[in-house]
A = this chain, B = another copy of it.
Amino acid sequence: MLTRKPPDARSDDSGAKEPAMSAEGEGGPDPRSRPRLPADLHRRLYRTMLTARLLDTEAVALQRQGVFPAYVSLRGQEAAQVGSAAAMDPQRDFAFPTYREMAVALTLGVDMVGYMASHRALWHGGLYDPMASRFAPINAVVGGPVPHAVGWALGEKLAGRTGCAVSYFGDGASSEGDVHEAMNLAGVMGAPVVFVCQNNRWALSVPNEGQIAGGSVAARAAGYGMPGTAVDGNDLAAVYTAVREALERARSGGGPSLVEALTYRAAPHSTSDDTSRYRDPREEREWAERDPLPRARAALEAAGRADAAFFDRAEAECRAEAERIRDGVSTAPEPPGSDLFTHVFREPTAELARQRRIWQEEVA
A contact set with B: CB distance below 8 Å: 1-7, 9, 12-16, 174-181, 183-188, 210-216, 218-231, 238, 241-242
Partner of A176, one of B1, B177, B183, B226: B177
A216→B183 CA distance, assembly (Å):
14
Question: Would B178 and A177 count as touching, CB distance under 8 A?
Answer: yes
CB of A207 to closest CB in B, whole Å: 11
Q: Give the residues in chain B near A16, CB-CB below 8 Å.
A: 2
Q: Which residue of B lies closest to A214 (CB)?
A: B225
The interface residues of chain B lying within 8 Å CB-to-CB of A176 are 177, 181
5 A-B interface contacts by CB (under 8 A) = A4-B229, A5-B222, A180-B181, A188-B210, A213-B224
Across-interface contacts of A1 in B (CB, < 8 A): 229, 231, 238, 241-242
Q: Which residues of B contact A13 (CB under 8 A)?
A: 2, 4
Task: Given A177-B176, A227-B5, answer yes or no on A183-B213 (Cβ-Cβ < 8 Å).
Answer: yes
Give the chain B neighbours of A213 by CB distance below 8 A: 183-188, 223-226
Contact indicator B177/A181 (Cβ below 8 Å): yes
Is A12 touching B3 in the complex (CB atoms < 8 A)? no
A227/B6 contact (C-beta < 8 A), A187-B213, A188-B210 known = yes
Is the CB–CB distance between A225 and B6 below 8 Å?
yes
Q: Which of B2, B178, B187, B220 sits near A223, CB closer than 8 Å?
A: B220
Most buried by B among A2, A14, A215: A2
Q: How far is the CA of A5 from the CA of B215 in the complex (A)?
A: 18
Q: How far is the CA of A229 from the CA of B1 in the complex (A)?
A: 7
| Residues A229 and B181 in contact, CB atoms below 8 Å apart | no
CB pair A6–B226 under 8 Å, yes or no, is yes
Q: Chain B residues with Cβ under 8 A from A181's Cβ?
A: 175-177, 180
Q: What's the minimum C-beta distance from A247 to chain B, rounded to whole angstroms?
A: 14
Q: How far is the CA of A74 from the CA of B349 in the complex (A)?
A: 50
Determine which of B4, B179, B188 lies in contact with A222 in the assembled complex, contact meaning CB atoms within 8 Å.
B4
Chain B residues near A212: list those with CB within 8 A.
184, 188
Bound Cα distance from A1 to B238, whole angstroms: 7
For the complex formed, measure the closest distance between the CB of A214 and the CB atoms of chain B, giving whole angstroms: 3
Query: What 9 A-B pairs are tightest by C-beta distance, nearest first?
Result: A177-B177, A187-B213, A214-B225, A180-B180, A220-B223, A6-B225, A213-B224, A4-B228, A223-B223
Residue from A1, A15, A222, A238 having most chain B Cβ neighbours under 10 A: A1
* Complex: A241 Cα to B224 Cα, angstroms: 27
In whole angstroms, what is the CA distance A225 to B221 when docked? 13
Choose among B4, B186, B210, B221 the residue that contacts A4 (Cβ–Cβ < 8 A).
B221
A187 touches B214 (CB 8 A): yes
A225 cross-chain contacts in B, Cβ below 8 A: 6-7, 9, 213-215
- In Å, the complex CA distance between A15 and B4 comes to 8
Which chain B positions have C-beta within 8 A of A7?
222-223, 225
Contacts of A220 in B (CB 8 A): 220, 223
**Residue among B4, B177, B224, B229 making CB contact with A214, cutoff 8 Å:** B224
CB distance from A220 to the nearest CB of B (A): 4
Tell me the minimal C-beta distance from A224 to chain B in angstroms: 4
